[in-house]
Amino acid sequence: MTEYLLYLYAESPVHTGAAGSLDVLDLPVQREASTGYPVIWGQSLKGALRQAAGDANWPKGDVLLVFGSDIEERAPDGGTTEGLLAVGDAQLVAMPVPTLRRTFAWVTSDIALSRLARKYRRLGPPPLAVPQPAPDRGLAAGAAWTDAEEEALGPCVVPLGPEPDAELAAWAARIAADALPPGEKAAAAFTVKLRTDLVAAGSDLMPTLLRECTERSVRVQLDASKKVKNGPFYSEYLPAETILAASLLLRGKADTPAVRDALRLLLGNELLQVGGDETIGKGLVRTQLLPAGGGA
């Protein structure tokens, strides 16, 4: 049995559709019922991984072994084969929010970091303490955010404390090292920025930030004569630069060196298509796969 931590870093806005509409949004993103945090449900992520394996020309037998039967591959009696890769929900690590300085900051929370700490605990790196901001305040990883009494984060004006938080800075360094491509010049600016521009928001602030700082798009469907056929309808997206993480577990006879190598090639610093609106460039995420014993 081999456990993994899979980071997903959004290189374009991502839409994984919820079951129904929400307020004025016809097509909201998936969210947890208890927290309201954006999430990519495990079944959606597993479908994306299966599609990626097929696109990478995995042998059909390996796809069946790892991901199980497709809907079109049911046995004559209607039965299916269970896949031996367990895929957890991709939970939020940090989401970018607009600011008046430095363009944007990544916002996280004690809940998001505590969940990430649980995932790391199973991999083996030394544990990090989780910062605990007051409900109506925030903490910053870098000194650039602590030289003013308050900072504008999206629609909120938030005090971030008189000095950087050491616990949050340690998390910023670990996430920057593990979620972004190591040594890749194209990602260098974001790696440096993440180490300084991670902010932990208190529990009273986080719901507002996660609700107001997603992207909204108004779209219509045209007919052959270019007249409006349906719409307008409103879609919600997780913004580019959003970071999520999921736990994977490779079990049983699928846990072989060959399959582990195939997963590493499939999800090691590769682009993965997740969610809808693929034809208009949405849903591109960069993957980083950490096996047990990995990490910063």
| pLDDT for 11 beyond 60 | yes
User: In a 3-state reduction of DSSP, which class is residue 119?
Assistant: helix
Give the pairing type, strands 228-237 and 104-108: unpaired
Q: For the residues 166-189, what does the mean pLDDT come to?
A: 92
| pLDDT for 76 beyond 60 | no
Residue 155: partners with Cβ closer than 8 Å, 6 or more residues away: 208, 209, 212, 213
pLDDT tens for residues 188-216?
Answer: 999 999 999 999 999 999 999 999 999 88
DSSP 44-78: HHHHHHHHHHHHTT--HHHHHHHHB--GGG--TTS
pLDDT tens for residues 233-247?
Answer: 788 899 999 999 999
| pLDDT for 275 beyond 60 | yes
Instruction: Identify whether the C-beta of residue 53 lies closer than 8 Å to the C-beta of residue 60.
Output: no
Sheet strands (E) in the chain: 2-10, 39-40, 85-87, 90-98, 104-108, 138-140, 151-153, 156-158, 198-201, 215-222, 228-237, 243-250, 270-273, 284-291
- The mean pLDDT value of the chain amounts to 89
| pLDDT for 296 beyond 70 | no
How many angstroms separate the first and last alpha carbons of the chain?
22
pTM for the full predicted model? 0.91
Cis peptide bond N-terminal to 164, omega within 30: no
C-alpha distances (whole Å) from 33 to each of 18, 37, 39, 41 are 11, 8, 10, 12
